[in-house]
A and B are shown apart, each in its own frame.
Chain A
Amino acid sequence: MTIALEVGVRREHSAWETLSSPEWLSAVQTRVEQVAAADSSTRRNAPVALLAIKCALLLLQDTMSDDTLPPNIVPTADGGLQLEWHHNGVDLEVYVEAVGTVSAWCREGSREWEDDYYSTARIAKELSRLTSSPAR
């Protein structure tokens, strides 16, 4: 079964900027279309839940800057999605379950944290270091 979901993207630009989209947006779009369209009969996973896709996109909307690196997006066995970033020695994984619940785990060397609740501040802080721009 293919998930039918039409998603509009609104983009705020100041008049000083040329019209463009962040690089991560097209990468996320491509990957979400792939995981949503994958035929679940050919793999062991349950089909990805529409709610998980919506919640994952809203999470990215809340936490990504224009220069943030795109996540690797992996369907989970229970119909959820896992968003992963592995860069600069930082491992950040965000789990969106089929029912929309969000949890996250991060490790950088000996520093490690885990959240069972939706916490955009903590995720956004980690993502601010996972950018395509030179280290700040």
Chain B
Amino acid sequence: MIDVASSADSVVPYARPSDLPDFDAPPVTEVAIALHFLAPNFRAVHLGLLWERLRDRYPVVEERSPMMSQVEQFGATHPPTVQFQFLDTPPVPLTVFADPTRESLVQVQQDRFQCSWRQGSPGHPYPRYSSLREEFVKNVAILDQFAAQQDIGELLVKQAEITFINAITDVDTVADVLRLTPAPVRDTTTELPEPDLTRVAQRRTFRTDDDVPYARLHMAAEPGLSPSGEVVQLVFTYRGEPFAGRRVVHPLASIMGFLDEGHDRIVRAFADTTTDAMHLIWRRTQ
């Protein structure tokens, strides 16, 4: 059990590393922080009861079909190909609880809990990780107390993840955003047109001290559309097992330690992979 009934703030304080790159105007337009867990006793009826505890902050509610949670597969030489479906209860929908502005969401389904922020208008800047983190801790505390009181059982957290979506305007291609090594020019006998779309994807795997893979950092860059027009979308996701390689004293502290580590690695990867010209536009201060 996550057990955050006692003072969550004292268990999971956050201190931004002093050497972490920083920007006055980062192009962040969306952030999602999520837990993936096992809770087979979580039923559709629980979603309505949970909303009672969240509706002051999130008065809008919508139900959707459950989404397939992406989970990192580590260790197995061949990816698992069998999926069990328990047919003793109907599928639990994905329920979205939104604030009136729809800038802040909580999404819950049987195996996933996600808190998201999305920029509603250009005048609403990214509220910073520390603020979104605090909101996430509060909502997880509500979920955890609810699960304990409703006999759902312990939420067995399998993986945690944090995603940053950046929408970069006034650029033509990903090459304007990323530090890319240009492909060597070579003679060719064909007359192929230049590519009109280029995507870039990278994946990095992190291991514990005893060489167990436990987390991955994904980066994807591609052209896209946003309300402000054509953009280059740059997405970073850090996902993995929050207890691997850690001495677990308090489960939530381990989870937040993992997410803080993910935020740290995403920010450093963002600074390392983007160009100096972009850093000027985003007003890099450190």
Whether B40 and A51, one on each chain, are in contact in the complex, defined by CB atoms closer than 8 angstroms, is yes
Contacts of A21 in B (CB 8 A): 82
For chain A, residues 77 to 126, give those with C-beta under 8 angstroms from any C-beta of chain B: 99-102, 113, 115-126
* Nearest B-chain residue to A102, judged by Cβ: B156
Contacts of A10 in B (CB 8 A): 82-85
Residue A136 interfacial (CB < 8 Å): yes
Whether A64 and B82, one on each chain, are in contact in the complex, defined by CB atoms closer than 8 angstroms, is yes
Contacts of A13 in B (CB 8 A): 81
Whether A65 and B153, one on each chain, are in contact in the complex, defined by CB atoms closer than 8 angstroms, is no
Whether A121 and B75, one on each chain, are in contact in the complex, defined by CB atoms closer than 8 angstroms, is yes
CB 8 Å contact bits of B82-97 with A (1 = contact, 0 = none): 1111111000000000
Contacts of A123 in B (CB 8 A): 75
CB<8 Å pairs between A and B, sample of 13: A8-B84, A8-B86, A10-B85, A25-B82, A57-B84, A58-B84, A99-B153, A100-B40, A101-B154, A121-B75, A123-B75, A125-B74, A125-B212
A107 to chain B, nearest CB (A): 14
Whether B157 and A118, one on each chain, are in contact in the complex, defined by CB atoms closer than 8 angstroms, is yes
CB 8 Å contact bits of A121-135 with B (1 = contact, 0 = none): 111111110010000
How far does the alpha carbon of A127 sit from the alpha carbon of B151 in the complex, in Å? 32
Residues of A in contact with B, size category: 35 or more
Whether A121 and B213, one on each chain, are in contact in the complex, defined by CB atoms closer than 8 angstroms, is yes
* Nearest B-chain residue to A14, judged by Cβ: B81
Residues in A lying within 8 Å of B, measured CB to CB: 4-13, 21-22, 25, 50-51, 54-55, 57-58, 60-68, 99-102, 113, 115-128, 131, 136
How far does the alpha carbon of A11 sit from the alpha carbon of B79 in the complex, in Å? 12
Residues in B lying within 8 Å of A, measured CB to CB: 38, 40-41, 71, 73-88, 153-154, 156-158, 210, 212-214, 240-241, 243-244, 248, 251
Whether B87 and A6, one on each chain, are in contact in the complex, defined by CB atoms closer than 8 angstroms, is yes
Main secondary structure on B side of the interface with A: loop
Q: Which 9 A-B pairs have the closest CB atoms?
A: A124-B75, A125-B75, A121-B74, A8-B85, A117-B243, A54-B40, A6-B87, A10-B83, A65-B78
A-B contact count (CB 8 A): 125
How far does the alpha carbon of A116 sit from the alpha carbon of B254 in the complex, in Å? 13
How far does the alpha carbon of A54 sit from the alpha carbon of B240 in the complex, in Å? 22
Most buried by B among A13, A21, A128: A128
Main secondary structure on A side of the interface with B: mixed
Contacts of B75 in A (CB 8 A): 63, 120-128
Whether A64 and B85, one on each chain, are in contact in the complex, defined by CB atoms closer than 8 angstroms, is no
Whether A124 and B156, one on each chain, are in contact in the complex, defined by CB atoms closer than 8 angstroms, is no
